[in-house]
Amino acid sequence: MIDFNSLYFVGAGGIGMAALERYFLSKGYRVAGYDRTPSDLTAALQREGVEITFDEDPELIPDYCRDASRTLVVYTPAIPDDHAGLCWFRDNGFEVVKRAKVLGIVTEKSKSLCFAGTHGKTTTSSMAAHILQVSGIGSNAFLGGVLRNYDSNFLLSEKSPYSVIEADEFDRSFHQLKPYIAVITSTDPDHLDIYGTEEAYLESFAHFTELIDPQGALIVHTGLKLVPRPAAGVRTYTYGRNDGDFHADNVRKGNGDIIFDFVTPWETITDIKLGVPVDINIENAIAAMAACRLIDVPAHSMREAIASFMGAKRRFEFWIKENDKVMIDDYAHHPDELRASIGSVRDLYPGRKLTVIFQPHLYTRTRDFADQFADALSLADEVILLPIYPARELPIPGVTSEIILEKVKCGEKTIYSKENLISSLQMLNFEVLLTVGAGDISNLLPQISCEVKNQRH
């Protein structure tokens, strides 16, 4: 499969990289890597056996990774080309490949259930992996979030013919995959720093559908602009909340629960109860169950799994759930995700004051969607913005969090630096607090929750 003894991951603390590191550890390879900053995830990987350094000095690369004939180097596109360690590997004749290529190689001989889309792919793929685990069928699952049921973003099965993959469209990574079943949840424009135009973004998804196994299937959310191009023989289905080949019926809400019936082209599976009862998870569960229905997972296993699914960390995750105080964290970093997250909170806690702390992610995304971010945030009662998290990007003149803030319509709004956020929270009194963003706001969550817990009405 991989004709090396060891692997070195440049960007080892990335969520997608972590799943591959755990896979290769399980197969007996020696695994090491670099990341910019320590995190809970890098600490977990180190405990599991990955040797990680946080300095790009090539002298820190372990001895067992310094032989080009024995070590494969894997990197994420978020790593700059002038990274000292990456340059050393390239200058010394190592095979250096993107994460997506390795993921394609390790899953090519399996029947891959691939979940793609601007948003929703982490939750839908995680639900599908959990369904297969509960059913006993199992899978090798490579996920973009740490599942709270397993405290990992990787599930291992030595015998299952299936893999479950979060198919990432960034940098066209999902073009390295060979889906058996492909699910497309959404195609709202994103990553325009890579694609340039919405048309190019949609074309990338259309090409993804061409990669589906001719014996396989495509499941697409209703109403997308996408025009799929699957090969002859690929079965094509639609899904949605209220319409499509797979959809929900008889939705019931009350006592903190959401229960619905799952309608398929062949039967209706009654009384699906969401373990994470937020409205958007109705659609997410439909997508996951649709893929599992096509590989004949029993109805009782799907019902049990959806009810016991605890969600991925940072996907509408409750940190505080008290009568007078609630804190929820969500990974939302696209305007539509932000709108859905705020809407879900409003649905759960009507009439309560909602404060949103949002950290924009990427200068280009902020530039391209400032108006849409402002519209979504205006649904809150109070908005606190943090400075933009740059990730892989250099600053763009004139692009700051202020260009969002000035367009937010709610009366209470401000910007805090990360350094003064915690102390500033002492002046506020929360009913419902939603923290959102894909950057390092996650590192502040323990301090934020501690401060909120210490406040009393």
103-132 residues labelled b (16+ CB within 10 A) or e (exposed): bbebbeebbbbbbbbbbbbbbbbbbbbbbb
Q: How high is the pLDDT of residue 456?
A: 56
Q: How high is the pLDDT of residue 206?
A: 94
CATH number listed for the domain at residues 6-99: 3.40.50.720
Q: How high is the pLDDT of residue 195?
A: 77
Exposed, middle or buried: residue 227 (CB in 10 Å: 0-12, 13-18, 19+)?
exposed
The CATH homologous superfamily of the domain defined by 108-308? Mur-like, catalytic domain (3.40.1190.10)
Q: How high is the pLDDT of residue 209?
A: 96
Q: Is 157 helix (H, G, I), strand (E, B) or coil?
A: coil
**C-beta of residue 286 within 8 angstroms of C-beta of residue 239:** yes
Question: Domain coordinates of the chain in residue numbers?
Answer: 6-99, 108-308, 317-454
DSSP 236: E
Q: Averaged in consecutive runs of 10 residues, what is the pLDDT profile of the chain (457 residues)?
A: 87 89 93 90 93 93 94 88 92 93 88 92 94 96 90 90 90 89 88 77 93 97 93 96 97 86 97 91 97 97 96 83 87 87 86 92 90 93 92 86 91 87 82 90 87 71
**C-beta of residue 118 within 8 angstroms of C-beta of residue 186:** yes
Q: How high is the pLDDT of residue 312?
A: 82
Q: How high is the pLDDT of residue 314?
A: 78
Q: How high is the pLDDT of residue 253?
A: 85
Please give the CATH topology (third level) of the domain spanning 317-454: Protein-Tyrosine Phosphatase; Chain A (3.90.190)
Q: Determine which helix (DSSP H) or strand (DSSP E) holds 68, and give its type and residue range.
A: none
**C-beta of residue 299 within 8 angstroms of C-beta of residue 269:** yes
Dihedral-angle region of residue 413 (phi above 0 means left; psi in -120 to 50 means alpha; beta otherwise) = beta
The strand ranges marked E within 199-256 are: 217-221, 235-239, 247-254
